[in-house]
């Protein structure tokens, strides 16, 4: 029997970091792969633009990339040859307090511990094993539920990672250490009392010690451009301005991978799915949204704490109790007057981002999903709290509420930038309870977005694991294991 001739072996819908990773992994395995992207540029959450004034380059969504530099898959690719350069801030992150002091995450475990006073040994006891074992367990942590290659190291990590952040911080005595970890755990975008909120804090701190929290030179778009350039260099094809609302729009292929969340997947291909799978996708839970501001400012952010002036990322939220209370209330659908604010100041370290003597500043806070409340004054008051005179330096601002975030990127449902809640109920069963989370109930259709394990973040691992599943299921091919490093 003559083989069925297809236009492509596989098509990837969406060119976020996971879509790009999936396409690259399949193209590397010898398949013919097409990426279709709804916008006129690739990137998903990896885009940069002049949002405020001419000469100011702002990251539209993601900004600082510890997981990109620490990604086992991205690190296996020659992205530097395709123009990607990372810049390391003096310090990965700082966390200011009302007394003018600040807690600091540095590249060194021992240096960070030494700055925590009475909690020096507690920090060393917590983080030294994580940092030591991370190269062995990274691919397993950043993947679906499966038997790990290094079970003892994975178990040691899991014992701490599965704890609620509010439980883990009990090992610390000082307010500085407690707040520093709370700020890291708040990246989970859920109450700090939830099980497994310690995981994101541990991962981000370990990444900071091992790889730093780097800034891509020229903007986050540089990461997407390098991934796309490498994909094309090995024979892949990309079509932009190709917004998919129906399977009928796509050329013929043996497999289609969707870098979208369950809501869009149902709209595009729901008629192909079994009733139980459709039911599971419809019940998928989205989490808190974000309200984002980009500022063009005169001079730098005038932080009272000197350390904050030299950190790429500043966690603005005060004490553990203040951060914990704010995140809990937002989870309950309330707005708060003193939210946890993530602020990045890329242009302090990357002069290509702003005119001389001026800076492009990036920041957001969490809000209830779908919120349209204007949080500009509230966020700026929080920044002003630790950087008096900040508002006087603002030349222009660009804001995005949750609705505008979703309009910009349909994957950000209600402003949820994580592709759905990453709590214990959706950690390994995202988007549905199945033997493989990347398979749908329809043969040849797969999901590879951050709505699959390991979830949000610029690491490409959702796409890598989805591609590995497709290669085995549809093409009977293996994909080489990721290197340890």
Return the pLDDT at 477.
82
How many angstroms separate the CA atoms of 301 and 345, rounded?
8
CATH topology agreement for domains 8-38+242-284+419-473 and 86-214+287-408: no
Return the pLDDT at 482.
55
pLDDT at 14 over 60: yes
- State what percent of residues in the chain have pLDDT above 90: 95
CATH architecture of the domain with range 86-214+287-408: Alpha-Beta Complex (3.90)
| Per-residue pLDDT tens over the stretch 246-263 | 999 999 999 999 999 999
> Structural domain boundaries of the chain?
8-38+242-284+419-473, 86-214+287-408
pLDDT at 295 over 50: yes
Entry field: residues in the chain:
485
Per-residue pLDDT averaged across 406-423, rounded?
A: 97
Question: Half-sphere exposure (CA, 13 Å, Cβ side) for 199?
Answer: 23
Closest of 346, 237, 369 to residue 296, by C-alpha: 346
pLDDT at 2 over 90: no
| Per-residue pLDDT tens over the stretch 119-149 | 999 999 999 999 999 999 999 999 998 899 9
Query: pTM for the complete prediction?
Result: 0.95
CATH architecture of the domain with range 8-38+242-284+419-473: 3-Layer(bba) Sandwich (3.50)
Cα of 293 vs its chain's centroid, Å: 18
| Structure tokens belonging to residue 463 | 């796409």
- 397's CB contacts (< 8 A; 6+ apart) are 52, 293, 294, 295, 296, 376
Return the pLDDT at 6.
78
| Per-residue pLDDT tens over the stretch 171-218 | 999 999 999 999 999 999 999 999 999 999 999 999 999 999 999 999
Return the pLDDT at 484.
42
Return the pLDDT at 428.
84
| Per-residue pLDDT tens over the stretch 86-98 | 999 999 999 999 9
């Amino acid at each position: 029997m003559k083989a069925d001739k297809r236009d492509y072996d596989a098509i990837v819908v969406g060119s976020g970091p996971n879509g790009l990773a999936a396409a690259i992994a399949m193209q590397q395995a010898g398949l013919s792969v097409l990426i279709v992207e709804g916008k006129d540029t690739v990137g998903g959450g990896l885009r940069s633009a002049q949002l405020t004034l001419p000469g100011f380059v702002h990251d539209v969504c993601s900004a600082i990339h510890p997981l990109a530099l620490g990604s086992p898959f991205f690190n296996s690719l020659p992205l530097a040859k395709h123009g990607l350069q990372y810049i390391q801030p003096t310090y990965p992150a700082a966390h200011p307090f009302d007394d003018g002091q600040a807690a600091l995450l540095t590249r060194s475990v021992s240096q960070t511990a030494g700055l925590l006073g009475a909690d020096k040994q507690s920090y060393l006891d917590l983080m030294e094993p994580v940092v030591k074992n991370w190269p062995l367990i990274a691919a397993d942590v950043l993947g679906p539920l499966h038997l790990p290659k290094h079970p003892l190291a994975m178990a040691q990590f899991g014992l701490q990672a599965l704890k609620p952040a509010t439980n883990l911080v009990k090992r610390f005595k000082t307010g500085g250490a407690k707040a520093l970890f709370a700020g890291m755990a708040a990246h989970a975008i859920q109450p700090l009392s939830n099980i497994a909120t310690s995981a994101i804090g541990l991962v981000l701190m370990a990444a900071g010690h091992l790889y730093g929290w780097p800034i891509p030179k020229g903007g986050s778009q540089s990461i997407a451009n390098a991934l796309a350039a490498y994909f094309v260099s090995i024979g892949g094809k990309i079509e932009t301005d190709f917004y998919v609302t129906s399977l009928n729009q796509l050329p013929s292929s043996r497999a289609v991978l969707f870098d979208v969340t369950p809501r869009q997947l149902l709209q595009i291909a729901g008629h192909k799915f079994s009733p139980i799978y459709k039911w599971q996708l419809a019940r998928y839970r989205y989490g808190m949204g974000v309200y984002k501001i980009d500022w063009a400012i005169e001079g730098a952010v005038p932080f009272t704490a000197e350390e904050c002036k030299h950190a790429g990322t500043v966690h603005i939220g005060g004490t553990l109790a203040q951060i914990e209370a704010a995140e809990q209330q937002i989870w309950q659908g309330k707005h708060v007057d003193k939210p946890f604010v993530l602020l990045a100041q890329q242009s302090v370290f990357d002069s290509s981002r702003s005119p001389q003597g001026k800076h492009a500043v990036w920041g957001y806070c969490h809000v209830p999903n779908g919120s349209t409340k204007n949080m500009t004054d509230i966020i700026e008051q929080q920044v002003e709290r630790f950087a008096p005179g900040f508002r006087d330096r603002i030349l222009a601002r660009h804001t995005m509420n949750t609705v505008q975030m979703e309009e910009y990127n349909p994957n950000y449902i209600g402003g949820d930038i994580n592709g759905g809640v990453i709590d214990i109920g959706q950690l390994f069963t995202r988007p549905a309870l199945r033997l493989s989370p990347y398979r749908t109930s329809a043969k040849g259709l797969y999901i590879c977005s951050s709505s699959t394990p390991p979830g949000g973040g610029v690491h490409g691992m959702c796409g890598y694991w989805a591609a590995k599943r497709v290669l085995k299921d549809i093409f009977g091919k293996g994909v080489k294991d990721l290197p340890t490093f």
